[in-house]
Amino acid sequence: MSKTLVDIDDDMLAFAQQQLGTKTKRDTINRALTIAAAISADDRARALSWLQDNAEDFIDFDFLEEQERSGR
């Protein structure tokens, strides 16, 4: 864990604490970072799932297989 000096909007911090149910600045910031990371991971997982479900509509797998067999 590192220590970082940053300027934080006090009103936004208070609002975030209220929304997240946290009591300290440290807990609020760490919870917000955890949520942000999870959202990003969820977005990637949803995108991958969509691609797996819809890939055949956009990717010519027969062509790719032929290219791979021919060494191109």
- Quick one: pLDDT at residue 1? 85
Read off the pTM. Answer: 0.59
* Residue 72 banded pLDDT, cuts 50, 70, 90: confident
Q: Torsion over CA of 15, 13, 27 and 32, rounded to 10 degrees?
A: 80
Q: What is the pLDDT of residues 6-63, one digit of tens each?
A: 999 999 999 999 999 999 999 999 999 999 998 988 899 999 999 999 988 888 888 8
- Quick one: pLDDT at residue 28? 96
Q: How many CB atoms lie under 10 A from the CB of residue 16?
A: 17
Rg of the Cα trace of the chain? 22
